[in-house]
Structures are given as C-alpha cells and as structure tokens.
Structure 1
Amino acid sequence: MRDRPGRWWAELPPAAGAAVMATGILSVDLHLIGSELPSLAFFALAGLGWIVLAGEFLARLAGDRRRWRAEADTPPALTAVAATTVLGARCVQQGWTAAGYALLAPAALIWPVLLVSVLRRWHRGMPGSAFLVCVATQGLAVLAAALHRAGGPGWLGDAALAAFGLALLLYLEALARFDFRQVREGPGDHWIAGGALAICALAGSGLITTHRWTGGGQDALKVLTLVLVGLDLAWYVVLLTAEARWPRPAYDIRRWATVFPLGMTAAACLSAADAVGVDWLRSTGRVLLWIALGFWVVTAGGLLLTLRRRRAEEAARSG
C-alpha cells in the first residue's frame, strides 16, 4: 500500500512510540515537582503524538495487515501499550479518571496479543528493545494502581500487583537475552535496560501508596522498591559512562528510547521519595529531570532537522 503524499508519519516505525513515552513521562515528572504549565505543555504534545500514532496503528491494521503483522512481531510494537499507559497515568494525575479507564482498556486488550507475538520470536543477542516486554507490562501496573488510588475497585490493586510481579520476571528473561555489547554500540534503545527497572520502581511506589497491603507485605514492597531504584541508578551510571566513552552523536529515532529511561528514572526517584520516605531521592529526581529535559530538547531538535532534510530531498527529487 502506497502512503498518501505528506503523510510522513506513515513511514515511522513502531519505535516512534518511544517519543510519546518520553514526552509523557516528562509531563508526569514536571507535575510531581509542581511545574504545572510546562507539564501541561508536554502533556498536550504527548497526547497529540499518541493520536497520530494510534491512528496510524489502526490504519495499518485495517489497510496493510501484512505490515502490521510484521511489526507486531518486534519488541518496539509494545511501545503502543507503554505509551498508552503513560498517557493514562498522566490523565489520572490530572483528575481525569474516565480518560484513564478509557486508555487502560485498549492497552490491556492489545497487550497480550503483542506480548505473545514478541515472545514467540525471542532469541539470544537481543537489543535493548527486548526490555519493552517488562516496560509495557509494568505500565499496566502503574496505570491500574493509579486508578485504584483514585477510588477504583480493589481488583485494580490486585491486578496491578500481578502485573508488577510478571513484569519483574519478564525483566529477568529479557536480561538473559540482552546483547551486552549494545552498551557500547547501541543506537539508543539500550537505555531501556535501565529504564525498565525505573518503571518497576515507579510501579512499586504506586503499589505502596494504594495502602492495600499492610504489615510485612507493605515492608517488602518498600524494600523491593528501594532495591529497584538502586539498580536503576547503577544502570544509569554505567550507560552514561558508556555514552561518554563511545559517543553516538548521530540522530536515530531509537534515541527517544534513551530519553524515556532518563525521564522514568527521575519519576522513580521522585515517587519513591514520597512512598518510602527517603528525602535525598527527591533532590536526585529533580536533578535527573533537568538532564532528561535537556536530552529531550536535543533529540527533538534532531528529529526536526531530519524531517526538514527529508522534505528538502523530496522537493529536490520532485523538482
């Protein structure tokens, strides 16, 4: 199927969903520190990006089934679930619980289809996008827990806990298949190895603040959340050091999968500071947020320059 002229977004691969994830989580972060105006701006950008990509997702499903199936077999397809849950969590922050439920429903419906399709084709030596099986599953946990805290039924809390546990197992499976050479050579999505732990920690904080579990269960969640934050920060240092040692300055759409873990690590620290009561995590989260915002600006600039160059090339060919 030939795309109509001007529909540049029709050429975007599933990995483009990471741009919505990155923008959405920065909106969440900015809300957590009380910067409402910039948070709403990022929220609007994430929502617009989600609408464009969701429309293209449905267009491919309806009009180019072969391409849709080929893309559904790859881990980046799971950005559709993850981006939807991040946007849903931001809606709940805003008090729009109906929108949160409306986004949870399709995310939960397409999650098993895409997850099974991806897992059937797993192999050794996977890129960082393999960790999206954990990120997408944990995104469901984050959104379900947020809706439960907003007054939703108890089964949402139980579902969030089940998704949380499954996502941890999926992380270990992805880690066993991850090609660690990606730390030195990866084009950007290798950062999800750390970002997946960040969203695990964010989900843990969300479960703690539901107050559905008390006593030993609550204590275990607090310890596990702190461990996950620590492991995430360790990955952060390793990956940032690798970027300095082996720079990769060229723009690649998978760079949005770098921005998302940076923003998610900030969110994990900010949320854990309140859920577990560790004050230094709050200041750490603020610092990491500004780093993530800087990377977002650079990556967005790379995207705009790439689109501008592509349009110039198309104009030259047509002229």
Structure 2
Amino acid sequence: MVSPLPGSAWWAGLPPAAGAAVMAAGILSVALHLTGHEVLSLVALALAGALWLVLAADFTARLLGDRGRFRAEADTPAALTAVAATTVLGTRLCALGWQSAAAALLALAAALWPGLLVGVLRHWRRRMPGVAFLGCVATEGLAVLAAVLADVGHHDWLARAALAAFCLGLLLYGAALVRFDLREVIGGAGDHWVAGGALSICALAGSKLTASPVWTGAAHTALRTATLTALALSLLWYAVLLGAELRHPRPHYDIRRWATVFPLGMTATACLSAAQPAGLPWLRPLGEVLLWIAVGACLLTCAAFLATRWTAHRRRP
C-alpha cells in the first residue's frame, strides 16, 4: 500500500464526479475567450488547471495506493469526466497557442478513454441518470480537441480521427438516450442536464469539423446539417430542463450541480462556435446571453459549495 501524498488530506476522497467542476470552468474559459473577455477567461482557465492538477494527483494516488477503490470507481460513468475534463482543458490551451501541451493532453485523454469507456458500458442498465451521457461527452471531447489541433497543424489524419470520434459520440448519445430515466428531468440532482449538454458538445465538435478545409462538398453539407440538428435539439433540451428547474426547484447543493454548469456553458460555446461556419450570425448574440446565464450558475454553485463547506466546518467538534 502506498502512503497518501503529503498534505493530501483535504482533497483525498473526492468522487469522480468532481471532474465536472474542471469541465465547467474549462468550457466557461473557452466561451469567455470567444467573446473577447480574456481576463475572465484566463481566471477560469487557471481555476480549471488547478482543479485538474488536484484531481490528477488524486487519480494517481488511488491508482498506486488503493487499487480496489480505483477499479470500483473506474467503472462508473462519472469516471469519464477525467477524459472530458482533459480534452476541455486541452482545447483552451490550444487557443492560447500551447499546441504541444494540448497535444499531450489529447494523447493522455485518448489513452484513458478506451478502458474507462468499456468499463462503463459493461455496467450500463435501464433507467440511468444523466451521467449515462458522459460516454458521448468524453468521446466528443476527443473529437473537439483533435479537430482543433488538426486545423492548427494542418493534419488531415487527425481531422479524420476527429470525424470518427464525432460519429461514435453520436451513436453513444443515442444508446444513452434509450437508457435515460426521464423522471430525472423533474427530480435529478444536476447531472440530468448532461442530456442536453452532450448534444451541445456534439454541435461544438461538428462546428469545428465544418470549419475545416478538409471537408468539402457533400461531406461538408452533411456535417453542417448534423451540427445544426444537434444544436437545435440541445436548445430544445435547454428549454425543457430550464422549465423543469423552475417548476421543481432543487436549491440544495450537490456535487452533481457542476454537471449542470458544464452543459450551460457548453450550449453557449456551441452557439458561439457554430455561428460563422453555419452561416447563422444570430447564434452569436444567443450564445452571449447563454454564456452569462452559465457564469451566473457557476457563481451560485460556487457560493453553495462554500456555504456547505463552511457549515460542515462549524459543525466539527
């Protein structure tokens, strides 16, 4: 048994679902960059990077020191947040011009993805919560980062790999949808929003592929159609889920609420990214409105988290 890392007591025991916080901060950084709010974008990026390092250290400590717990948690859908968070962080680093770091994160995410995905798929069942869609999210995250790196480095093979991941992600979405428990829309703790957010990241991946010069003619038309369809369905989910939240409020903090912030930010990012390649400029102002809703949700979730931690600290003997 490997002893715990020095000073690790405060973060030891974090559940895999904590990766959604990295995803949320990372995608908000991407969206803020797309709207020209660079200072706020870098703040969000720094937060995402710090959280990613903490969770990576925790992941490594479990792998080396607690194999039983590692294997048990690796088979849960929330474990795929490790892949998704890594790709989101890599996408933002690529926008900074740090292609080498982004490529390293893509390689890491691609190495983690098959084992985690297979383990999760083996344990799929009927009537699953929103985390069922994380297989799609993780796969589409690979597609987004691969497409971005392919465009920057003019690597056609990487663009083709991104297309393969995009198509597989769509298939995984359909497989998850038939297993999704629709009662989660009314009573879910936060991760039910991934039902819509998964389509948003599909639209984001599609927009990156559509903007690539690799795809022309019928292929470009098909990608544009798939992108707009995924985006339209994600906006429909957004309206349904928001209406359910207003009708059935769930004010108490739950770590799965970070899986609400991420889809909110991802939908905004998808609108902002798809506006130009789709030839629909009105998507940009819509994306800007959705971005500030996502930022507000992030701040509220942070406040709820801090309040919960403060209350727990005061109750300690």
Task: State the TM-score bracket (shorter-chain normalisation).
Answer: over 0.9
**Secondary structure in structure 1 of the residue aligned to 2:169:** helix
Distance in 2 between residues matched to 1:201 and 1:247, nearest whole Å: 28
- Residue range with higher mean Cα deviation, 243-252 or 4-13: 4-13
The answer for the alignment partner of 1:137 in structure 2 is 139
The answer for the alignment partner of 1:9 in structure 2 is 11
Distance in 2 between residues matched to 1:273 and 1:175, nearest whole Å: 27
1:173 to 166, 172, 175: 175
Distance in 2 between residues matched to 1:176 and 1:292, nearest whole Å: 27
**1:9 Cα deviation after fit:** 1.6
Distance in 1 between residues matched to 2:71 and 2:89, nearest whole Å: 25
The answer for the alignment partner of 2:219 in structure 1 is 217
Deviations along 1:149-188, one digit per CA (max 9) or x if unpaired, are: 1114211100000000000000000001000000001000
Residues 17-96 of structure 1: pairs in structure 2 closer than 5 A: 17-96=19-98
**1:10 Cα deviation after fit:** 1.2
Distance in 2 between residues matched to 1:155 and 1:304, nearest whole Å: 45
2:241 to 239, 242, 267: 239
The answer for the alignment partner of 1:300 in structure 2 is 302
Distance in 2 between residues matched to 1:311 and 1:106, nearest whole Å: 36
Distance in 2 between residues matched to 1:127 and 1:174, nearest whole Å: 10
**Secondary structure in structure 1 of the residue aligned to 2:11:** helix
Residues 238-317 of structure 1: pairs in structure 2 closer than 5 A: 238-314=240-316, 316=317
Percent identical pairs in the alignment equals 62
1:195 to 185, 188, 197: 197
**1:8 Cα deviation after fit:** 2.4
- Residue range with higher mean Cα deviation, 218-227 or 122-131: 218-227
Deviations along 1:227-254, one digit per CA (max 9) or x if unpaired, are: 1110000000000000001100000000
Gaps of at least 5 residues in structure 2 are none
Q: Match of 1:113, as an amino acid?
A: G
Distance in 1 between residues matched to 2:97 and 2:9, nearest whole Å: 34
**1:111 Cα deviation after fit:** 0.2
**1:220 Cα deviation after fit:** 1.1
TM-score (norm 1): 0.97
Distance in 2 between residues matched to 1:173 and 1:270, nearest whole Å: 28
**Secondary structure in structure 1 of the residue aligned to 2:12:** helix
- Residue range with higher mean Cα deviation, 16-25 or 272-281: 272-281
1:206 to 202, 205, 208: 208
Q: Match of 1:145, as an amino acid?
A: A
TM-score (norm 2): 0.97
- Residue range with higher mean Cα deviation, 148-157 or 200-209: 148-157
Distance in 2 between residues matched to 1:152 and 1:55, nearest whole Å: 33
| Alignment length (residue pairs) | 315
Distance in 2 between residues matched to 1:15 and 1:87, nearest whole Å: 16
**1:309 Cα deviation after fit:** 2.3
